[in-house]
Structure 1
């Protein structure tokens, strides 16, 4: 390696060509890099959804979920099966083992589902697919005081136009009901004509079909035969002849029934700023760009709006490109500011040329990294950009150490070329191993399991790539640039002269500090190692005690706020849509009051606190975020959501959390509400607090979940306590009387007739605008909207007679859950909650639940199993995988330190410094007031790399001094004097590089603050650590080694003396 470094220094063209190659390759890689708010990843999941129209959750569970679970048991690659049975819909999710061939498993799952023969005939074809996240980019809202059909037609036109543009391949419509053609006929008319509903459905079905009749072979060729008569419109169905008399009289369907071309009988309705609305959502898939998709929609809306009818508007909503652009600009701004501060610091302590080339080297490493990141699948997102900022604080170390060593050789009077060669070769080995130890330290982050690991993997990939490229630049490019004569010191330029004078003054101050306080401090450490070690150990115990005692709060995952505030309302099961609408309107009024109150405290030119207001009745709202997949949900009149769009964070004077607080203050008393939650989080990897209960006893589950909710309510600061135990919706349970069989009525006959009358008998399916439209025949709404209608319903017998329902069946009132959740073949109930971090952290609540509450409830409910899920389960999985990874990383770091030091003991001395480096990180959290969490750990990993790097360089210099014949104490003192400047500079530049993010007040970067605090403040203490604690460690290690050597020598001498004595005695 030394020969290669020397050759590159003397071959300027080669070094420059290498630099140009890195820059060009990186530039091409940057161009191809996609931009996203957060990384996307494909969950290891297979979704199976089966629609069973009209079926209750219990029917869906028994008829669909249970057989599906049984079919999946034989597939070894499936690790866990979760399922949800709701009204008319079953969703089964198969979680796959890591590393399996997902496509192959998908084929196996499809085959297993196809082999199920017990599915009811009324179900729709099962949909089996791999869960693939879709990145929502932007929404177009078509709204106005017009009918739902008019809005849906316009929305479909917009969808088709957007897809036709070519820049967008996935566009979906929401906020509107599905098309449905309904044929309604009254019981009296059925009786008058002697029809049953099933007979009429059969007639309609037979009169609406299209069937191939084969072919005729003629001398002129083949002629195909086809019978055509498939109806497509309501008018076509009205003209169907249902009865033809002998005298030629015909009875048309329109004579006895009402045929309506309308919408499905669901309660889904959306409004946008108070007007009926339909939403068109554009997604980014494949290689599509977020910015390109958003730009295409914006351009289209400008043209689309011009041709809309009067009273209808098209608005852009939830534009993620604005979020992306804001976050990228914010992080880039912080990166540039940090780099500028680094450049200034280097200029003050070294010289302008060295500072400039060091800064340029950082740029080369960063740009070159794009060439490798693109093939690795890394995108330009919040996490990867933060990785660059984190790398900025670390990557400068090797360049500083290399550059400072060359600068020190120049100060000794060597020529630029000789100084570059001697300085670079002298420091090359410790620099290489120092960088490699940092790479190994970050390696465990590549193997974090679960959703969190896939979300954060871009961070270690960026840091490791930049580090490796910075090593190449520091070894083979930087020394060449510093090997040429520096004319800046002899220039007459007033600015450069002033810089040189300032640097000279700084150098005088630095040398005074080195020769004075530093030397005295290091000498004290060398001759009083016990005092230093005792103080350092006490500091560690105090810091970790602050965390364990709750004085320094711990929060596993920070809150990532978005640009919207979302509320979800759940009324008691069975609540009418009118009642739900009444409550959501009260909530909307409270939103407007909160906005008005906040506007009073804002400047007059500040944007309105509420930009837009979108509400949905009949469905719940959902957050976005990485890894989120679209899971089918059935509509419900008892559910509603409200989404408030706030001003752009770049111009807003308040945070989404502040608006959430103001909104809560304006909420009225919501009587009769089952649950109501508000969140300003952009997304969550998992529920903050979640307890899962499992039992075969439904009543025990209900009682236990209620107790969990009661216990959570006792915690101060815990709110939004929810349970998904939805028992309570009323249902009439119909059982066939034994004597009804004398009328030849079977249970199947009874079920089909009741279903056909009140839900509808499906006649056929039509295609309209790319959407399946079912055709149902049923009783009119006036005969199926009251309990009395069921009691007077008449059942047809095979003989043509009609019998009241209560004569052939018993009718009893019961209850049924609105949804059923299952895991691994067992029903489960989840209780979730959130916590106000300013009052109590989720970690504190989860620890109390684990240690006190759940053991107590387990004794109270012996038949129920309790377990913490959500964020706590994610935390346990993450720390378990990190723990395994760090054990291997520590072994790797030990090996990488042992090789250049040629010692088994000195690596332990260096690694012993790692825990002491954490002291500064924890003190920084206490000063800034940021809870310690997972993101803090990333900063501590970076801190570990810097501490190990600087300590390695320090100990390498100590060994060199000892090789010159100095005793350990003098070698340590010389090393402290000689290596203080590069160690201090690496600490200072690391802190300056990361400091803009530490003090960044924007909500878009707040979740990254713990990492910056850990690295920034930790590195400030690293200089003191290395200058004071490491010498004490080295002396302690030397004394221990010498003590063992004396014991060994004494043992050998004693054995020899004993042998002599024994020989003499003989």
Structure 2
């Protein structure tokens, strides 16, 4: 390594070309880097969705889910199968093993589904695809007091226009019901004409088709044959002849039935600020840019609004580009502020030239990193930007150590060139291994398993890339720039002169501190290592005891708040749309009251606390988030959601959590509500508290889930306790009487007739506006909207007679779940809850569940398995993978330390300093009042690298002093005096670089605070640690080694004496 360093110092052109190449490559990489709020990742999932119109969840489970699960059992690459059976729909998710060829497995799954021969004929074609990480960017809401059809037509126009722009490839419409053509005919009319509903459906089906008839080969060529008669409009269907008399009289379908070109008989209804609404959502896929997609929509809305009919407005909603822009600006601001503080510190403590080139080196490392990050799949997002800020506090270390060592050689009287060569070569080895140890420390973060690992992988990629480039810059570029000038910059500039004077005064004060308090402290540590070690060990035990005892709170994942607050409502199964609308309107009224109450305490020029309100009945709400995938859901009249858009956080005086609290205070007593939950989180990796119960006994599951919910309610600070055990929706169960077979009525006949009358018999599929439009024939709504209608329903026999239902079947009232959840072929029920972290942490509740509650319930409910899922499962998986990775990392760090130190013992001394550094991080959490969590661990990993780096350089200097003939005590004192300034400056610049985030009050960055606190405060204690604890460790290690040597010498001498006496005796 000495040769290349010396060669680069003496070849300015080469070093400058290397610098320019790094900057140019990095600039091109930065231009190509996509921008996102959070990283996206492709889930290792295959989704299988099968629509079964008119089927209950139990029917869907038995007919669709169970055969699908059986078909997937033979595919080895499928690790776990989860399924949900709901009204009309089955969704089966196959979780794949890591690293498999997803496309090949997808083909296998498709083949397995195609081989299933037991699916009912009424199902729609199964849809099998890989889970897509498409990202919602922006929504266009069309609202007004106009008809649903008018809004949907406008939405379809907007969708087509947006796709035609070219910047957006995926645009979807929601909030509007599907098109449907309904043919309704009454029972009396059917009786009058002697038709059964199925016969009439067959007639309509036969009179509407288009079929190829082959071809005719003539002398002039080939002529194709085609029979045309496919009906496309409601008028076409009305003109169908259903009966032709002998006298030429024709009965048209319009004579006996009502043909309506409308919408599906669905419970879906959406409103925006109180008006009917349809939503057009633009997604970002592939290489598309969030900002480009949003800009295209904004530009289009400006022109589209001008041609909208009166009474219809177009509004932009859920614009993620605003969120992205706000978060990126915030982190960039903090990064620039941190860098500025670092530059100020460097200027005040180092030579101006050295400070300038050290700062430039940071920029070179950061810009150059972009050249490598783009090919690695890293995007510009909240996590990667935070990685840069974290790196800012670490990357300056090697440049400071390298530059300060060259500066020290200049002060010895060497020429700039000689000082650069001697200083760089002298410190190169410890710098290289110091950087590599930090890289190894961050490496375990690359292998975190699960969703969280894929979400956070950009962080270690950024830090490692910047560190490696900073090493290249420190070894081959910085020394060259410091080798071509005088010892310092001399100028008559008054400002720079004052800086030099200030730096001189600081240097004098620093030298006084080094020769006074520092020297006395190090000497005390050397002379009293037992006292120092005892105190340090006591501090470790106290800090970890505070966490174990709950005095220092632990929260695995911080809350990541968004710019909206979402409420999800679940009424009892079977609740009418009318009743659900009444309740959601009560909730909306409480929202407005909360907004008015908050507005009274805000400045007059503050934006309205409520920007927009969007409610939907018939579907749940929810936010976006990284890795978000779309899963089909069936509508339900008992489910609704309300989303409140708040002012931009950059101008808002309150947080979404503040609004959530105010909203809860205004909520009325909601009677007859099954569950209601409010959240201000932007997204969640997992539920805060989730208990999954599995059993083959449905009653046992119901009782056990009720007990879990009851126990959770006993915890203070636990709220929004929900269970997905939705059994309770009433259903009439129809069984064929044995004597019905005397009338030649089979169970299939009975089921098809009841289904056709009340749900509808499908006769055709049309295409309209890019979607399939089914055509159903059924009884009119007036004959299928009451229980009595079923009881008086007449069943057609093969002989043409029509008999009352109760003569051929028994009808009993039962209940059915609104949805059924299965995992690995077994039904499960989940109980979820949220926590108020100011009252009780999620970790505390999960610990109590694991240690006390679930063991007790397992004893009470034999045959039911209880499994802590959600955040706790994610935590266990994360810490397990991190634990394995960190053990390997420690072995790697040991090896990297042992090589330059040429010792097996000294690496242990250096690594023993790591726990003491963690003490500072924990103290920082206690001072700031931030709970310890996963993000704290990231800061501790960065802290580990800095502590190891500085300790390695310190011990390397000690070894050099010992090689000159000094005893250990003098070597330690000299090392402390010589290395205090770079170690102190490293700690100071690291803290300053990360400090803006520590004290950042914006909700957009608060979830990153634990990392900044761990690194920032931990590094402040690192100077004290290295100057006081490391000498005590070194002296203790030296005494232990000498003790063992004496014992070994005594053993050898004793053996030699014994041999002498033995020889004398013989």
1:693-744 Cα offsets, whole Å, 9 max, x none, are 0000000000000000000000000000000000100000000000000000
1:652-705 Cα offsets, whole Å, 9 max, x none, are 000000000000000000010000000000000000000000000000000000
1:473-495 Cα offsets, whole Å, 9 max, x none, are 00000011111224854311111
- Corresponding residue number in structure 1 for 2:23: 23
Q: Residue 863 of structure 2: SS of its match in structure 1?
A: coil
Moved over 2 A (4+): 486-490
- C-alpha deviation, 1:1065, in angstroms: 1.3
Contact kept, 8 Å, 1:353 with 1:486, in 2: the verdict is: no
What is the CA–CA distance in structure 2 between the aligned matches of 1:1044 and 1:734, rounded to whole Å? 88
What is the CA–CA distance in structure 1 between the aligned matches of 2:254 and 2:356, rounded to whole Å? 86
1:540-590 Cα offsets, whole Å, 9 max, x none, are 000000000000000000000000000000000000000000000000000
- Corresponding residue number in structure 1 for 2:422: 422
Contact kept, 8 Å, 2:143 with 2:276, in 1: the verdict is: yes
What is the CA–CA distance in structure 2 between the aligned matches of 1:487 and 1:926, rounded to whole Å? 44
What is the CA–CA distance in structure 1 between the aligned matches of 2:761 and 2:199, rounded to whole Å? 11
1:721-776 Cα offsets, whole Å, 9 max, x none, are 00000010000000000000000000000000000000000001000010000000
- C-alpha deviation, 1:641, in angstroms: 0.2
What is the CA–CA distance in structure 2 between the aligned matches of 1:708 and 1:354, rounded to whole Å? 64
- C-alpha deviation, 1:179, in angstroms: 0.2
1:132-175 Cα offsets, whole Å, 9 max, x none, are 11100000000000000000000000000000000000000000
What is the CA–CA distance in structure 2 between the aligned matches of 1:453 and 1:736, rounded to whole Å? 55
What is the CA–CA distance in structure 1 between the aligned matches of 2:1049 and 2:541, rounded to whole Å? 37
1:13-38 Cα offsets, whole Å, 9 max, x none, are 11100000000000000000000000
1:85-116 Cα offsets, whole Å, 9 max, x none, are 00000000000000000000000000000000
Q: Residue 490 of structure 1: SS of its match in structure 2?
A: coil
Q: Residue 34 of structure 1: SS of its match in structure 2?
A: coil
- C-alpha deviation, 1:353, in angstroms: 1.1
Contact kept, 8 Å, 2:731 with 2:813, in 1: the verdict is: yes
- C-alpha deviation, 1:1063, in angstroms: 1.0
Contact kept, 8 Å, 1:141 with 1:278, in 2: the verdict is: yes
Pair 487,1034 (structure 1): closer, same or farther in 2 beyond 3 Å? closer
Q: Residue 565 of structure 1: SS of its match in structure 2?
A: strand
What is the CA–CA distance in structure 1 between the aligned matches of 2:1041 and 2:528, rounded to whole Å? 17
What is the CA–CA distance in structure 1 between the aligned matches of 2:645 and 2:353, rounded to whole Å? 50
Contact kept, 8 Å, 2:410 with 2:487, in 1: the verdict is: no
What is the CA–CA distance in structure 2 between the aligned matches of 1:924 and 1:220, rounded to whole Å? 92
What is the CA–CA distance in structure 1 between the aligned matches of 2:312 and 2:336, rounded to whole Å? 45
Contact kept, 8 Å, 1:270 with 1:276, in 2: the verdict is: yes
- Corresponding residue number in structure 2 for 1:804: 804
- C-alpha deviation, 1:396, in angstroms: 0.3
TM-score, length of structure 2 as denominator length? 1.00
Contact kept, 8 Å, 1:649 with 1:1003, in 2: the verdict is: yes
What is the CA–CA distance in structure 1 between the aligned matches of 2:91 and 2:497, rounded to whole Å? 74
- Corresponding residue number in structure 1 for 2:777: 777
What is the CA–CA distance in structure 2 between the aligned matches of 1:764 and 1:74, rounded to whole Å? 36
1:593-621 Cα offsets, whole Å, 9 max, x none, are 00001011111111000000000011100
Contact kept, 8 Å, 2:526 with 2:1032, in 1: the verdict is: yes
Contact kept, 8 Å, 1:81 with 1:92, in 2: the verdict is: yes
Contact kept, 8 Å, 2:921 with 2:940, in 1: the verdict is: yes
Contact kept, 8 Å, 1:488 with 1:496, in 2: the verdict is: no
Contact kept, 8 Å, 2:918 with 2:1018, in 1: the verdict is: yes
- C-alpha deviation, 1:628, in angstroms: 1.4
What is the CA–CA distance in structure 1 between the aligned matches of 2:498 and 2:367, rounded to whole Å? 32
What is the CA–CA distance in structure 2 between the aligned matches of 1:609 and 1:847, rounded to whole Å? 38
Q: Residue 637 of structure 2: SS of its match in structure 1?
A: coil
Aligned residues: 1066
TM-score, length of structure 1 as denominator length? 1.00
Query: Mind listing any 5+ residue stretches in structure 2 that lack a counterpart?
Result: none
Does residue 1:996 correspond to 2:1034, yes or no? no
What is the CA–CA distance in structure 2 between the aligned matches of 1:1061 and 1:714, rounded to whole Å? 80
What is the CA–CA distance in structure 2 between the aligned matches of 1:340 and 1:427, rounded to whole Å? 27
Contact kept, 8 Å, 1:442 with 1:464, in 2: the verdict is: yes
Contact kept, 8 Å, 2:353 with 2:489, in 1: the verdict is: no
1:491-519 Cα offsets, whole Å, 9 max, x none, are 11111111110000000000000000000
Contact kept, 8 Å, 2:185 with 2:258, in 1: the verdict is: yes
Contact kept, 8 Å, 2:155 with 2:279, in 1: the verdict is: yes
Contact kept, 8 Å, 2:728 with 2:815, in 1: the verdict is: yes
Contact kept, 8 Å, 1:918 with 1:940, in 2: the verdict is: yes
1:246-288 Cα offsets, whole Å, 9 max, x none, are 0000000000000000000011000000000000000000110
What is the CA–CA distance in structure 2 between the aligned matches of 1:360 and 1:335, rounded to whole Å? 15
Contact kept, 8 Å, 1:489 with 1:500, in 2: the verdict is: no
- Corresponding residue number in structure 1 for 2:703: 703
- Corresponding residue number in structure 1 for 2:411: 411
What is the CA–CA distance in structure 2 between the aligned matches of 1:21 and 1:1018, rounded to whole Å? 36
Contact kept, 8 Å, 1:362 with 1:392, in 2: the verdict is: yes
Contact kept, 8 Å, 1:341 with 1:993, in 2: the verdict is: yes
Contact kept, 8 Å, 1:595 with 1:610, in 2: the verdict is: yes
Contact kept, 8 Å, 2:416 with 2:487, in 1: the verdict is: no
- Corresponding residue number in structure 2 for 1:103: 103
What is the CA–CA distance in structure 2 between the aligned matches of 1:975 and 1:154, rounded to whole Å? 76
1:405-484 equivalent positions in 2, closer than 5 A: 405-484=405-484
Q: Residue 488 of structure 1: SS of its match in structure 2?
A: coil
Does residue 1:599 correspond to 2:599, yes or no? yes
Q: Residue 337 of structure 1: SS of its match in structure 2?
A: helix
What is the CA–CA distance in structure 2 between the aligned matches of 1:355 and 1:325, rounded to whole Å? 32
- C-alpha deviation, 1:416, in angstroms: 1.1
- C-alpha deviation, 1:622, in angstroms: 1.6
Contact kept, 8 Å, 1:489 with 1:497, in 2: the verdict is: no
What is the CA–CA distance in structure 2 between the aligned matches of 1:629 and 1:25, rounded to whole Å? 34
- Corresponding residue number in structure 1 for 2:169: 169
1:938-997 Cα offsets, whole Å, 9 max, x none, are 000000000000000000000000000000000000000000000000000000000000
1:988-1047 Cα offsets, whole Å, 9 max, x none, are 000000000000000000000000000000000000000000000000000000000000
What is the CA–CA distance in structure 2 between the aligned matches of 1:75 and 1:720, rounded to whole Å? 39
What is the CA–CA distance in structure 2 between the aligned matches of 1:354 and 1:848, rounded to whole Å? 56
Q: Residue 566 of structure 2: SS of its match in structure 1?
A: strand
Contact kept, 8 Å, 2:48 with 2:127, in 1: the verdict is: yes
What is the CA–CA distance in structure 1 between the aligned matches of 2:59 and 2:770, rounded to whole Å? 30
Q: Residue 488 of structure 2: SS of its match in structure 1?
A: helix
What is the CA–CA distance in structure 2 between the aligned matches of 1:960 and 1:134, rounded to whole Å? 57
- Corresponding residue number in structure 1 for 2:291: 291
1:856-895 equivalent positions in 2, closer than 5 A: 856-895=856-895
Contact kept, 8 Å, 1:522 with 1:973, in 2: the verdict is: yes
Contact kept, 8 Å, 1:564 with 1:646, in 2: the verdict is: yes
- C-alpha deviation, 1:413, in angstroms: 1.5
